[in-house]
């Protein structure tokens, strides 16, 4: 039997996607918010597709704040924007 692929809900588009294909933002037990490239940090996580449209929606709605149940600084959103931009390169979102 194949293992079930873990899925998580994107805070932007609200769709369930494969965890591995997503970017995880974590609220550590110390109260620090980090973008978790390894996906293995302890803490409450929120997931987003590395997609500009998802990011824009999440930022507009402050969805990460809701997902992590804390206030997420704009600095984190900026860091996430850079990662999303780097990851979604080549999708031709019309520059
Ligand atoms: Zn999404």
Q: Is residue 25 part of a domain?
A: yes
What distance in angstroms lies between residue 47's CA and the mean position of ligand 1's atoms? Answer: 8
Residues 2, 78: Cα–Cα separation, whole Å: 38
Kindly report the CATH number assigned to the domain that includes residue 82.
Answer: 3.30.1230.10
Residues 38, 33: Cα–Cα separation, whole Å: 14
pTM of the model: 0.86
- State how many domains the chain has: 1
Residue-wise pLDDT for 65-83, tens only, equals: 999 999 999 999 999 999 9
- For ligand 1, a single-atom ion, the residues with CB < 5 A are 10, 12-13, 49, 54
What distance in angstroms lies between residue 94's CA and the mean position of ligand 1's atoms? Answer: 19
Number of helices (H) and strands (E) in the chain: give both, helices first.
3, 5
Cβ atoms of 13 and 49 within 8 Å: the answer is: yes
The whole domain housing 29 covers 7-87
**Among 39, 34, 46, 63, which Cα is nearest to 8's?**
46
What distance in angstroms lies between residue 55's CA and the mean position of ligand 1's atoms? Answer: 8
Which structure tokens are listed for 49? 């597709």
What distance in angstroms lies between residue 66's CA and the mean position of ligand 1's atoms? Answer: 15
Residue-wise pLDDT for 3-40, tens only, equals: 788 999 999 999 999 998 999 999 999 999 999 988 89
């Amino acid at each position: 039997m194949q293992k079930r692929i873990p899925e998580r809900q994107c805070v932007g588009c609200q769709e369930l996607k494969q965890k591995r294909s997503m970017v995880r933002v974590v609220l550590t037990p110390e109260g620090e918010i980090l973008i978790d490239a390894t996906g293995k940090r302890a803490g409450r996580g929120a997931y987003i597709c590395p997609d500009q449209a998802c990011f824009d929606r999440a930022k507009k709605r402050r969805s990460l704040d809701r997902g992590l149940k804390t206030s997420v600084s704009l600095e984190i959103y900026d860091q996430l924007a850079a990662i999303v931009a780097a990851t979604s390169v080549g999708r031709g979102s019309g520059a």
